[in-house]
Chain A
Amino acid sequence: MSTAKVSTVRPLTFTQPKGKTSAFARQQRNWGLFFLLPWIIGFFLFQIGPILFTIFLSFTDYHGTSEFKLGNFNFVGLENYQKLFTDPQALPSMGVTLKFALIGIPLGLIVPLLFALLVNSKRLIGSSIFRTLFFLPTVIPVVAGTIIYSGVLNAQSGWINLGLKALGVADPPRWFTDPFWAGFALNLLAVWSVGNAMIILLAGLQGIPTELYEAATVDGANSIQRFFYITIPMLSPVIFYNITLGVILAFQYFVPALLIGTEVGNPQGSLLFFPLHFYRQAFVFSDFGYGSVLALVIFVITMIATGLLFFFGQRLVYYASAER
């Protein structure tokens, strides 16, 4: 005769009445909010507040040379937004930014990935030295780096052109004085400082379980197949992160363009990036109303681009730990 065992011990579970949180949980939540409070205050004061004020300014004709008082903010409706459609430099400057992004983002991904693969290779002697050398440009301040680069790429005395001439190139590019080459020159400058991306990709590479490669090797996969079927999928979260940041930074690209092309985007507007165009309107011509519109355009376009990236990109990203 068998008897079913019936447990007579009540499980040690605490069931909360529906809709009510315990005093302890509330306390925990409140302490959490308390510690988050400084950041939240700062966020609203110094991030959300200025964005809201920018939206307000975009509906006024406030001029930067007028006193900062309520009487000088005259409401002009959508006049500033209408100006956007008649501004002869709005589209070209957006074109400059997009051209830079279309070249710079892939370069900013492929080059550090190649560096990371190189540095991660067991066959490389002195990989830590290479890692340091590739990372070093990142720690140089952007202004100093740009000024150095303007010398390096000078058409007459820059050592890149001197090297090209030594290799037999009779007419090397006039990097910062030819509108065709100026944008590429800034892409080169951006590639010079991919050390940070390289380090992150390297960390991602080193996090890929080696068993996967061993299993693939046993199954007969060659190195290229292992790269595309293991490395890239496993690195996809890091790649996605880099692409997202690259898009955001591309739409904010400003300091090197200002230093090289000044606020007019020389040569011939080829370096007049959209943020630089915004800067000109707001801080050179003091037209804060229209400048605010341009700032909001950057904000909206960046949000849309990031949103699209997340929408489509998440479908291509493989998270080893997540259930999909």
Chain B
Amino acid sequence: MKRYILLLSVMTALALFAVACGAPAAAPTAAPAQPTSAPAQATSAPAATLAPTEAAPPTATEAAASGEPTAVPTPTFPPPVSTGGEGCAPNSQQVSWFVGLGAGSNPPEVVKEKAFVDKFNKSQTEYCLLLSVVYNNGQNSYDALRARIAAGNPPDIVGPVGKAGRASFQGAWADIQPLAEKAGFDLSKYDPKLLDFTKDEGVLVGIPFALFPSFIYYNKALFDEAKLPYPPHKLGEQYMGKPWDLQALQDLAMKLTVDKNGNDATSADFDPKNIAQFGFVEQYTDGRGVGAFFGGGLPYDPKDPKKAVIPDNWKAAWKWYYDGMWKYHFMPTADYYNSDQFGKGNPFSSGNIAMAWTHTWYTCCFDVQKFNWDIAVVPTINGQVTAKLHGDTFAILKASKNQDAAFAVLSKMITDKDLYNIYGGMPAIVADRPDFFKAFDERVAPNKVDWSVVEEMVNHPDLPNHEAWTPNLTKNNDEFNKWKTFLDQTAGLDLDKEIDALQQRLTAIYASAPAQ
């Protein structure tokens, strides 16, 4: 009897131990300040991915890292995935590939990536590609890569990764130029502007792979209802007899901004407190992105990186943006932007926005088949056309011990059509684009979208890019996210004064940047 009691006691003790190890601190039962249920896991909101997972292309990229936080925080993430070299030839050289700084970490994409790796390994005997995927929630995959680098076990290839992802590891990327020359890879077939775009601080860190130019999405139904012609699809085209410039865009947006009584924003009876439809929105971007509408720039002096110097074109862009919301009312303020009526943070998808300026990846985020939509070129602003660009590439880490082998594999990856289809970016190589757009056509049918706009806009990237590296990058991005929200939420600002204050804060941030 004693033995059974002892056995029962031991089992009970073990069970209690297991509970003690898993149990959080006792939750209080009275909660005057907040509900008593278990707290949700926090997320790094500004970097939260916006795109829902999709099986078919296109999907969102790390471009979402610079967008507004609209997604509901998810408490669980897919576990890391690794392949172990199945299908590799014996004695083949191992090349490791890390996915997680941009697109590619959603489960449907991982399935396709594994299929690609399998196909690649079986198609040749020289290299053995090993895949490692860490889900990108804007933080943990970055930490995972840092840990691997710090542990002396860096991957060889990282990608797909864009400017923002690479900027978080500034200085960690190998110069592709000498590797390409050594391997006899012809870089001249790429548009020099795109090669420039793929440079970080003058170093070519990748080969242009997938591009996500920006342009204007427009809701044809709202134009038809207002009996207005659609905006231009070609640069240089006029709109209603006038050049398609900033004023033309503003006038058009005001005509398409309508209150609940049907008055548009040009009418004396327009009620800005009861707007039912907006003419324009700069969707899913941050403070630097808003500035880039008026041209590329850097917020610091490259000769003296500790000093913030906000470009004049950015100041002008912010003023136009602010007036667009609070004075002329053709763009939604934060209250409208986050309301039920305007898609709770995804306004173009609500059907109540006539035009939205954003990138090709945005096709992830609205019903591309049910919507009656098309795309238009951005207007000329101060004689210049700027279509801010997101672009992904595959980069090689400086710490890689197999840079030559990594480049050999990389050069095959960037021309593989299977990889284009996984990530949904427009191919950098012009000859590959017809197939890409054909797949897009099937996806958006019955809509007939004029993809020539995309091909035109890719020729006008913002240089320097709005996601380029800055000193103390995390705090810099934090400040610019706060800045845009401040503009979106606060009426009656003296913008000159606020911009000066922002510049001072940025100077303090850059001055306190850790040494590189």
Q: Is the CB of B489 within 8 A of A196?
A: no
Give Cα A227 to B73, complex, Å.
Answer: 45
Indicate whether A42 sits within 8 Å of B29 (C-beta atoms), given known contacts A157-B339, A284-B44, A284-B474.
no
Instruction: Check B187 for interface membership: any CB of A closer than 8 A.
Output: no
Mask of B276-304 contacts with A, CB within 8 angstroms, 1/0: 00000000000000000000000000000
Q: How far is the CB of B475 from chain A (nearest CB, A)?
A: 6
Q: Please tell me the size bucket of the interface on A.
A: 35 or more
Q: Is the CB of A174 within 8 A of B44?
A: no
Instruction: Check B151 for interface membership: any CB of A closer than 8 A.
Output: yes
Indicate whether A143 sits within 8 Å of B42 (C-beta atoms), given known contacts A196-B30, A249-B28, A264-B478.
no
Q: Is the CB of A37 within 8 A of B13?
A: yes
Instruction: Check A274 for interface membership: any CB of B closer than 8 A.
Output: no
Mask of A73-105 contacts with B, CB within 8 angstroms, 1/0: 000000000000000000000000000110011
Q: Is the CB of A38 within 8 A of B340?
A: no
Q: How far is the CB of A259 from chain B (nearest CB, A)?
A: 7
Q: Is the CB of B20 within 8 A of A154?
A: no
Query: Which residues does chain A contribute within 8 Å of B381, judged by CB atoms?
Result: none
Query: Which residues does chain B contribute within 8 Å of A248, judged by CB atoms?
Result: 28
Compute the total of residue contacts between A and B using a CB distance below 8 Å.
194
Query: Which residues does chain B contribute within 8 Å of A3, judged by CB atoms?
Result: none
Q: Is the CB of A196 within 8 A of B25?
A: no
Q: How far is the CB of A240 from chain B (nearest CB, A)?
A: 11
Instruction: Check B37 for interface membership: any CB of A closer than 8 A.
Output: yes
Indicate whether A264 sits within 8 Å of B32 (C-beta atoms), given known contacts A42-B23, A154-B338, A258-B45.
no
Instruction: Check B39 for interface membership: any CB of A closer than 8 A.
Output: yes
In terms of DSSP, what is the predominant structure of the interface of chain B? helix
Report which of A41, A158, A177, A286 forms a contact with B334, defined as CB distance below 8 A: A177
Q: Is the CB of B150 within 8 A of A242?
A: no
Instruction: Check B486 for interface membership: any CB of A closer than 8 A.
Output: yes
Instruction: Check B490 for interface membership: any CB of A closer than 8 A.
Output: yes
Instruction: Check A27 for interface membership: any CB of B closer than 8 A.
Output: no
Q: Is the CB of A264 within 8 A of B485?
A: yes
Q: How far is the CB of A318 from chain B (nearest CB, A)?
A: 19
Instruction: Check B147 for interface membership: any CB of A closer than 8 A.
Output: yes
Q: Is the CB of A42 within 8 A of B37?
A: no
Mask of B460-484 contacts with A, CB within 8 angstroms, 1/0: 0000000000000011001001100
Report which of B32, B481, B490 forms a contact with A107, defined as CB distance below 8 A: B32
Q: Is the CB of B16 within 8 A of A39?
A: yes
Instruction: Give the 4 A-B residue pairs with the shortest CB-CB distance, closest first.
Output: A108-B32, A42-B20, A38-B17, A67-B150
Cβ contacts A to B, 20 pairs, < 8 Å:
A38-B13, A38-B20, A39-B20, A41-B17, A42-B20, A47-B25, A65-B143, A105-B33, A107-B32, A141-B35, A142-B39, A142-B40, A143-B75, A147-B72, A154-B338, A197-B30, A248-B28, A249-B34, A255-B34, A263-B46
